[in-house]
Amino acid sequence: MVDLEQALTDLMLPLVDDKASLSVKEMSSLEEDEILLHVYAKSEDVARLIGKQGSMASAIRNMMSVASRLENKRISIKFESY
């Protein structure tokens, strides 16, 4: 089984300035076949993770969707700032 929280953290850690403020939490979802991950970071780091027109967020979601296929589930990633 893949630890998706750790995989997402490892993927985003080099992209943020304040590494201590980055955290990823798995939340419960209403749908059984969905994994919901919330990314928490400072607002300037969240802006960097989302990117222009959401291009970075889209790339992160695409990479994580590959990992979630091992569990036959869909993944949703939400970005939140402190």
Q: What pLDDT digit, counting tens, does each position of 30-80 carry?
A: 999 999 999 999 999 999 999 999 999 999 999 999 988 888 999 999 999
Closest CA to 1 of 59, 55, 67, 66: 67
Helices (H), ranges, the chain = 4-12, 43-50, 55-68
Q: What is the pTM of this model?
A: 0.90
Domain range list for the chain:
4-14+22-81
Phi, psi angles (nearest 5°) of residue 42: -65, 155
pLDDT class for 14, splitting at 50, 70, 90?
A: very high
Judge whether 2 and 70 are in contact, CB under 8 Å: yes
- Reading the block at residue 59, the tokens are 């790339």
pLDDT at 11 over 70: yes
Closest CA to 36 of 78, 80, 64: 78
Identity of residue 59: A
Domain 4-14+22-81, CATH homologous superfamily name and number: K homology (KH) domain (3.30.300.20)
